[in-house]
Chains A and B, each alone.
Chain A
Amino acid sequence: MTIERKLALQAWIFLALPVLFFCLIRFYPALESFGIAFSEWNLLSPPKYVGLANFNRMVGDPVFWIAFRNTFLYLAIGTPLSLLLAFLVAYHLDQVRFAHGLIRACYFIPHLTSAVAMAWVWRWFYQPPPVGLFNNLLNAGGLDTQPFLRSTTQALPAVLAPAIWAGLGFQIVLFMAGLRAIPSSYYEAARIDGAGRWMVLREITIPLLRPTIVFLVVISSIGFLRIFDTVYNMTDNGAGGPLNSSKPLVLYIYESAFRSYQMGYAAAQTIVFFLILLAVSLIQLRLMRTR
Chain B
Amino acid sequence: MARLSLRNLVKRYGQTEAVRGIDLDVADGEFIVLVGPSGCGKSTTLRMIAGLESVTAGTLTIGDRVVNTVEPKDRDIAMVFQNYALYPHMSVYRNMAFGLRAAKRPADEIDRKVRQAAEMLGLTPLLERRPHELSGGQRQRVSMGRAIVRDPQVFLFDEPLSNLDAQLRGQVRTEIKRLHQAIGTTIVYVTHDQVEAMTLADRIVIMRDGRIEQVGTPLEVFHRPRTQFVASFIGTPTMNLIPIPVIRIDGQPALRLEAQVGASPLVIPVTGARAGALEGHAGVTVGLRPDDLRVLPASAATDQALQGSVVIAEPLGPTTQITVSSHGLDLVGMGDGHFLPKAGERVTLTFDPETLHFFGPDGARLGA
Contact = CB atoms under 8 A, between A and B. Distances in A.
Contacts of B85: 183, 185-186, 188-189
A66 interface: no
Interface stretch (B70-78, B218-226, B339-347): B70-78
Contacts of A188: 50, 52, 79, 81, 85
A100 interface: no
Interface string B127-163: 0000000000000000000100010000000000000
Contact of A199 (B77, B83, B102, B146): B102
Given A186-B87, A208-B88, A208-B89, A194 B82 contact: no
Contacts of A32: none
Contacts of B88: 208
B103 interface: yes
Contacts of B50: 188, 192
A207 B72 CA distance: 24
A204 interface: yes
A289 to B, nearest CB: 13
B81 A194 contact: no
Contacts of A194: 71-74, 99, 102-103
B72 A192 contact: yes
A185 B159 CA distance: 13
B164 to A, nearest CB: 16
B87 A204 contact: yes
Nearest to A208: B89
B79 A195 contact: no
Interface string A25-66: 000000000000000000000000000000000000000000
B102 A185 contact: no
A199 B98 CA distance: 10
B89 A193 contact: no
By size class, the interface of chain A is 10 to 19
B41 interface: no
Interface in A168-195: 183, 185-186, 188-195
A191 B81 CA distance: 13
B51 interface: yes
By size class, the interface of chain B is 20 to 34
A194 B150 CA distance: 11
Contact of B82 (A185, A190, A199, A210): A185
A192 B79 contact: yes
A183 B73 contact: no
Given A190-B102, A193-B98, A193-B99, A185 B89 contact: no
Contacts of A193: 73, 98-99, 102-103, 150
Contact of B102 (A183, A196, A210): A196
B98 A195 contact: yes
- Counting chain A CB atoms within 10 Å of each CB, which of B87, B90, B102 scores highest? B102
B73 A192 contact: yes
A192 B103 contact: no
Given A183-B83, A183-B85, A185-B83, A192 B78 contact: yes
A48 B184 CA distance: 89
A183 B131 CA distance: 15
A242 B102 CA distance: 54
Nearest to A186: B85
Interface in A241-264: none
Nearest to B156: A192
B101 to A, nearest CB: 8
Interface in A5-30: none
Nearest to A187: B85
Interface string B52-86: 10000000000000000001111001110111010
Contacts of A185: 81-83, 85
A45 B78 CA distance: 81
Given A194-B99, A194-B102, A195-B98, A189 B81 contact: yes
A188 B82 CA distance: 12
Contacts of A199: 101-102
Nearest to B83: A185
B79 A189 contact: yes
Contact of A195 (B77, B78, B102, B150): B102
Given A199-B101, A204-B87, 16 more contacts: A183-B83, A186-B87, A188-B50, A188-B79, A189-B81, A191-B72, A192-B77, A192-B78, A193-B73, A193-B98, A193-B102, A194-B74, A195-B98, A203-B90, A207-B89, A208-B89
25 contacts: A185-B81, A185-B82, A185-B83, A188-B52, A189-B79, A189-B85, A189-B146, A190-B98, A191-B51, A191-B72, A192-B52, A192-B72, A192-B77, A192-B79, A193-B98, A193-B102, A193-B103, A193-B150, A194-B99, A195-B102, A199-B102, A203-B98, A207-B87, A208-B87, A208-B89
Q: 8 nearest interchain CB pairs?
A: A194-B73, A193-B99, A195-B102, A185-B85, A189-B85, A207-B89, A185-B81, A192-B72
